[in-house]
Amino acid sequence: MKKVLAVILALVMVVATGVYAFAANNFVSSPSGRPVPGLIIGENTDEDCFAWLKITSFLDRHTLDEEKRDEFENAYQQVLDSEDLSDLNSDLKTIADALGIPTSALLVSDFFDISWFGCDDHRDHDGYFRIQIQPELLNNFVALMHYYNGEWVIVDSAEVIGDGDILSFKVDDLSPFAIVVNEGDSPIEPPFGGDNTMLMLYVALMAVSGIALVVVGVKIKRERKNSKV
């Protein structure tokens, strides 16, 4: 019975460690728990090809078609696997150096996909997309990255406008995006801040652990009682 208890505790520790790694590695918080930025303006400039834009969170990637979903997951995996975000694009180091911050302080605060509908042949036109979004976190903005043809590129047109809560940019094509911020000395948000999904997972883990311990305890008492009989 002690062996069973040890296995249960080991499994809980492994799962908890995996959850924390998923939430904290190169991300301010887990992309599965973050809300998508609000879409303020999303339009294409080609009058002959009108399109509607849709922002999709990583949690809702199953709503995308297979090609878009695979692209989204590949983009996420590249961010997760990078030791430093500047590994994804060398221009991030140039930007960080200009701002006087170490690349190790760079984190992804928002990770989402933007798709268009209503203009299937957009790529055959010369227009571009003009977009303004309102992320939940835009403090210490460093850069906007765009996953294009299997690589992360910097969106040079990205700028913070309004009261510092709106990100405006122009792009020729749409796919996954990542907002890069400077963690800095003043924390933007703890790894699980604003991430109810991760908090719920921890609560669930604690509940499962508690139930498992109770079950094991009851079984031990029964075995002891039976052994005395």
For 97-115, letters b (16+ CB in 10 Å) and e give eeeebebebbbbbbbbbbb
CA nearest neighbour of 184 among 100, 121, 63: 100
CA distances from 216 to 6, 173, 226 (A): 11, 56, 15
SS3 197: helix
Do 86 and 8 share a domain, yes or no?
no
Counted domains in the chain: 2
Residues β-bridged to residue 56: 113
Residue by residue, what is the 3-state secondary structure of 147-179?
EECCEEEECCCCEEECCCCEEEEEECCCCEEEE
Do 63 and 174 share a domain, yes or no?
yes
Do 139 and 218 share a domain, yes or no?
no
Do 44 and 130 share a domain, yes or no?
yes
- What is the identity of the amino acid at 127? G
Burial environment of residue 150 by CB neighbours within 10 A (0 to 12, 13 to 18, 19 or more) = exposed
Do 49 and 146 share a domain, yes or no?
yes
SS3 188: coil
Do 83 and 176 share a domain, yes or no?
yes
Do 60 and 4 share a domain, yes or no?
no
Do 12 and 122 share a domain, yes or no?
no
Distance of CA 26 to the CA centre of its chain: 9
Last residue of a domain, one of 164, 182, 200: 182
Tokens 């996909």, residue located: 113
Do 122 and 203 share a domain, yes or no?
no
Do 148 and 59 share a domain, yes or no?
yes
* Four-CA torsion 184, 19, 143, 163, nearest 10 degrees: -70
Do 141 and 113 share a domain, yes or no?
yes
Q: For every one of its 229 residues, what pLDDT tens digit does the chain have, with 9 covering 90 and above?
A: 555 445 444 444 444 444 434 444 789 888 877 788 999 988 876 666 667 789 999 999 999 999 999 999 999 999 999 999 999 999 999 999 999 999 999 999 999 999 887 666 544 445 688 999 999 878 899 999 999 999 999 999 999 998 899 999 999 888 999 999 998 644 444 333 333 444 444 445 555 555 665 565 656 666 665 555 5
In a domain, residue 223? The reply is yes
> pLDDT tens digits, residue range 150-188?
999 999 999 999 889 999 999 988 899 999 999 864 444
CB neighbours (10 Å) of residue 154? 18
Do 18 and 48 share a domain, yes or no?
no
In a domain, residue 187? The reply is no
| Structural domain for 20, as ranges | 1-29+192-229
Q: Has this prediction a pTM greater than 0.85?
A: no
